[in-house]
Structure 1
Amino acid sequence: MSTTTAPSQTRNTVYVAVFAAMIAAMGLVPPITLGVIPVPITLQTLGVMLAGAMLGPWRGSLASLVVIVLSVAGLPLLAGGRGGLGVLLGPTGGYLVGWFFGSLVIGALFKYWVIRMQSKLLQLVSGLVATILGGIVVIYLFGVPWTAVVTGLDLKTSLVGSLAFLPGDLLKAVVATLVALTVHRSYRGLLK
């Protein structure tokens, strides 16, 4: 191993660990259950969005994957102190799987599209589009059908129930975009 790759590998490991810890820490905020659908509203999706937007596709999705794997292994890292194989096999499992792919999509769009925009307004608009696509559309693409299958609901009912998450998820997308763009303007090398 060359001496130039060791510091970058260490830096990447630290970034992934810090963002995985942030996603897990956001699980300390109690979940909000709606009763309409057996999936709670949590703050952890904001962490997933931030991981992708700030770290890029591979490190961001790896941070999400670390939290998923540790949760499935039994650590109570998910909102409400949940953990174990049951969270993956239950109604929330698809949303968890979606975290990995959502942060991957957000990270790729930020790295190869958003930060290359010349104006701050175009960065803001493209950042919002990227965060909404990865952090809402992609996660829902996994979560909604999974919930329908596990609970026995029809797909339409599962989709309508998931619309209750939309206002909060849109707010999270705005926050994640603003935070990520602010950080990228100050620290331009983060996505390299």
Structure 2
Amino acid sequence: MALILPVRRTTMQTMLGILLVIVATALGAQIEPLAATPFADAVPGTLQTLAVLAGGALLGPGRGALAMLGYLALGLVGVPVFHDWKALPPADFVNYFSAGYLIGFIPAAAFAGWAAQRWRSLLGLLLVMLLGHLIVLGIGAPVFAAWTSIELALERGLINLLPDMGIKSALGALLVYFWRVRRSTSTSSS
């Protein structure tokens, strides 16, 4: 392959990492661990943010944001990557009550990538994941309120998402922490 396309190994690894985070986000959009909650019909509590934040933390700020831009771009051009395997053309996206949450993935992934480079302990990574979720909610809930009402946004676009936020934050912190431990032990033994 190198004879045809002379691409450095690190470039290929980076592109593969970005692609894997996009795929993980699309798959996470289909999984609703708390689908039985009373307000799951409004803003679904999926595993997307687990992929967004863990992916951002592992890829770094620029690549994490790039992965989320790629994810949104795929959905906007017709690839069904959003919840319930939806694609949303731009005209539909601007009228979509969950659009703010999806847009929030970009700064949340960038933040997770930046902060995870600084706060490397398990507790630090838990804080990174919690703050990353708050970024998504902080952008998503006001957009949801603009399309519905403040009361509905608080009830169905914020409060109903808090229970799984803590669980996903803990899982994300563990995933990133143990991924780094595994990588550091495999690198040191090589």
SS of residue paired to 1:65: helix
Taking the aligned partners of 2:80 and 2:142, their CA distance within structure 1 comes to 25
Are the aligned partners of 2:30 and 2:83 in contact in 1 as well (CA < 8 Å)? Answer: yes
Taking the aligned partners of 1:34 and 1:83, their CA distance within structure 2 comes to 25
Are the aligned partners of 2:100 and 2:143 in contact in 1 as well (CA < 8 Å)? Answer: yes
Which of residues 98, 110, 114 in structure 2 aligns to 1:108? 114
Taking the aligned partners of 2:72 and 2:104, their CA distance within structure 1 comes to 10
Seen in structure 2, the aligned counterparts of structure 1 residues 78 and 19 have a Cα distance that, compared at 3 Å, is same
> How big is each residue's C-alpha offset from its partner over 1:30-88, in whole Å with a ceiling of 9 and x where there is no partner?
58374477212212111111111211111122112211111121211112111113245
Give the unaligned 5+ runs of structure 1: 116-122
Counterpart residue number, 1:94: 100
Structure 2 length-normalised TM: 0.83
Are the aligned partners of 2:32 and 2:44 in contact in 1 as well (CA < 8 Å)? Answer: no
After TM superposition, the structure 1 = structure 2 runs for residues 39-188 of structure 1, keeping only pairs within 5 Å, are: 39-85=43-89, 86-111=92-117, 113-115=118-120, 123-134=121-132, 136-151=133-148, 153-154=149-150, 156-161=151-156, 162-188=158-184
Counterpart residue number, 1:8: 10
Seen in structure 2, the aligned counterparts of structure 1 residues 34 and 96 have a Cα distance that, compared at 3 Å, is farther
Taking the aligned partners of 2:114 and 2:38, their CA distance within structure 1 comes to 33
Are the aligned partners of 2:30 and 2:46 in contact in 1 as well (CA < 8 Å)? Answer: no
Counterpart residue number, 1:119: none
Taking the aligned partners of 2:107 and 2:174, their CA distance within structure 1 comes to 21
- Asked if residue 28 in structure 1 is aligned to residue 30 in structure 2, the reply is yes
SS of residue paired to 2:83: coil
The Cα RMSD (Å) is: 2.4
SS of residue paired to 1:40: coil
Structure 1 length-normalised TM: 0.82
Give the unaligned 5+ runs of structure 2: 1-5, 185-190
Shift of 1:13: 0.8
Taking the aligned partners of 1:41 and 1:131, their CA distance within structure 2 comes to 15
SS of residue paired to 2:30: coil
> How big is each residue's C-alpha offset from its partner over 1:124-159, in whole Å with a ceiling of 9 and x where there is no partner?
11111111111x1100111010001122x02x5412
